[in-house]
Amino acid sequence: MTVVLVLNAGSSSIKWRLVDGQSGAAIRGGTVERLGHDASEGTGHSAAIRDLLAELRHEPVAVIGHRVVHGGSKFDTATLVTDEVEQQIEELAALAPLHNSVNLAGIRAARAAFPGTPNFAVFDTAFHRTLLPAAASYALPAGLVRRHQIRRYGFHGISY
């Protein structure tokens, strides 16, 4: 059986699922919630992700998929994560500051915990990259739009 680990490291939770890669059936999964809400809990995203991955280290994971909120104009499809892709996701963190940095923490932890296992990033914004220009545009001066690459992206695209 090919086992896929799906990891969604979000702004306040981590959702994960092991999936049978052939049938798509869920094997098991879970959620770690309220991360970052209580400073006294002593656990942040990085520690929670490391603990989860340590628990899953004996699973026969063949591939890991990560939800990443903002792919900007760089990513329009699921993308194999490389060091360069990590850097680009980090550069896009300003567009989704509550999400991309945490998404990236999950990617980095998974790559460290499962060396040699391919990791793919799936971008919320990719689905909406095909918006017609009129739907993707804001009523702003064209020079400002070009200079700052401003456009409507849309989110939660992987839910579609």
**Rg, Å, the chain Cα set:** 17
Could you give the angle at the alpha carbon of 64 between the alpha carbons of 58 and 91, nearest 5°? 130
> CB–CB of 18/57 below 8 Å?
no
Residue among 38, 51, 83, 124 flagged as catalytic: 124
124 in catalytic set? yes
Active site residue ranges: 124
